[in-house]
Structure 1
Amino acid sequence: MGGNQARTASLSLSQARGPDGLRLYAIGDIHGRRDLLEQMHALVDEDIRRAGAADWRVIYLGDYVDRGPDSRGVLDILASLRGDPRRVMLAGNHDAAFLAFLDKPDLRGVFANNGGAETARSYGVDMNFRDYADDPDALLRDHARLVATLPGVHRQFLEGLPHCISFGDFFFCHAGVRPGVALDRQSPDDLMWIRAPFLETDQLFAKVIVHGHTISPGPVTRANRIGIDTGAVKTGRLTALIIQGGQRAFLST
């Protein structure tokens, strides 16, 4: 632990580098915007061609579902790409909340209160969460319809999502990390949910953290982190970070 802490204090964004010969793309929160995901894929493909990148990786930072109109379409695309070793899809809190709701229809959970109705509608199931408190049988019926309609490959995709990955001097996750805890000991809950303790610290970590989860008008660049959730579902702006060696740039729809 002491060695990790010493290393943590020594690395800032100005020192961070991606792996030699590898061009990295990190894509922020998609939230059911299949249209923007398709646009971003076109931008990434064009950038790969323009840069003449011999090898590359695309890291998706999670929150593929909820709020936007086509969560099913997003999962169709991402599940079809899961076998590509150059693409890494990480788990977001909304993805985990969707799985939790599929297992147990809880009206107090994230899915029921933060865009789950739009996700269900993309599967052809209308869920009126405000009415279910007075009609729990309707909740159970509609929940069963959603479970039956969900393609098995979508559930397998969501269940198989890792919570983090590292490339070079960069650590990728959905929400952030807990200060004072080694990166290899971070909890899944913190990696998907943390805000204030991470966002408010100036502490340098063992690697620079690349994350989404917390919306900002544009990419946020700090000595210890880069945030790229630009609120795609409302703004129409899906953002990707490009890293190659010590160089960084952004793509945006």
Structure 2
Amino acid sequence: MRSYAIGDIHGQLGELERVHDLIAADREACGDVSAPVVHIGDLCDRGPDTRGVIDFLIAGRDRGAPWITLKGNHDRLMEWFLEPFPRHDPYLLVGYTWLHERIGGQESLASYGVTFPERERVFRVHDEARAAVPQAHIDFLKSLHLTYERDQLFFCHAGIRPGVPLTQQTEMDLLWIRDEFHESDADHGPLIVHGHTPVKDATHYGNRINLDSGAGYGRPISAVVIEGREAWLLTERGRVPLPQA
């Protein structure tokens, strides 16, 4: 059973289009037009075209493409800020909000034409954002699922808490967990496919695959094809075995 997966996007529309072209080439090579493509989350922030990324994904959904798009922590930050009364994510460091320069909300809003001075009031930015971001984009963010399971694979954005059944994972862990998950060599049952924590290259760790290759910092997005528990990075030269940790 074949599945495709795409790592963190972070507003990089050109990169997203590039890796979809790689998937299309692999589909043609193996004659598979129906295998799902799982986007692992973090559609927005830091990169220049969050609006274009969401438009691209909505267009794929509307034409019936076999795409699954999961929610990342940055997507929830954007979703919560755009609620009628903006909600703050308690996982953030003290003093941080979605609009903090290290988080990336400013870049996301700029893609919708919303810019503001350093000392602007949050309610004014919020009012402008609510007026500028299409309701279809807000609805799309709200509709994103936290997980997707298929055969021997379990897809989520950040990872899972080891020792907790997959059906009992919390939203906070699925969107934010790092060290407790990364340091575990436990057999989680299915192979966990995730992103969230940037690595130099998409890597197979035996019990998990990390697909976040740093698009939030201007590096290329990674796309892989997975068959069983084996995975290959998709490149312009074709399939390359995923590095093993």
The TM-score with structure 1 as length reference comes to 0.84
- The letter of the residue matching 1:117 is Q
SS state at 1:127 partner: coil
Of residues 215, 219, 222, the one that matches 2:202 is 219
State, as a whole percentage, how many aligned pairs show the same letter.
38
- The letter of the residue matching 2:59 is S
1:7-46 aligned at under 5 Å gives the runs 19=1, 23-46=2-25
1:196 maps to which residue? 179
SS state at 1:62 partner: coil
2:243 maps to which residue? none
SS state at 1:250 partner: strand
Q: Larger deviation: 99-108 or 165-174?
A: 99-108
Deviation at 1:245, TM superposition (A): 3.6
SS state at 1:112 partner: coil
- The letter of the residue matching 1:79 is I
SS state at 2:119 partner: helix
Alignment of 1:162 with 2:132, yes or no, is: no
Distance 1:200 1:246, change over 3 A: closer
Higher RCO by CA contacts (8 Å cutoff, separation 6 or greater) = 1
Deviation string 1:130-175 (CA, Å, 9 cap, x unpaired) is 413xxx3xx3222211111111110110000000011111100000
Question: Structure 2 CA distance, aligned partners of 1:28 and 1:184?
Answer: 23
Question: Structure 2 CA distance, aligned partners of 1:241 and 1:127?
Answer: 38
Of residues 76, 80, 83, the one that matches 1:96 is 76
Of residues 28, 31, 35, the one that matches 1:52 is 31
The count of aligned residue pairs is 226
Deviation at 1:51, TM superposition (A): 1.4
Deviation at 1:243, TM superposition (A): 1.0
Deviation at 1:85, TM superposition (A): 5.8
Deviation string 1:20-67 (CA, Å, 9 cap, x unpaired) is xxx211100000000101111111111100111153110000000000
1:131 maps to which residue? 119
1:208 maps to which residue? 191
Deviation at 1:222, TM superposition (A): 1.0
Question: Structure 1 CA distance, aligned partners of 2:204 and 2:52?
Answer: 31
Q: Which of the pair is proportionally richer in helix?
A: 1
SS state at 1:82 partner: helix
**Cα root mean square deviation, aligned:** 1.8
1:112 maps to which residue? 99
> Of the two, which has the highest radius of gyration?
1
1:61 maps to which residue? 40
8 Å contact from structure 2 (residues 152, 229) kept in 1: no
2:213 maps to which residue? 230
- The letter of the residue matching 2:19 is M
SS state at 1:38 partner: helix
2:161 maps to which residue? 178
Deviation string 1:175-199 (CA, Å, 9 cap, x unpaired) is 0000110011111111111001101
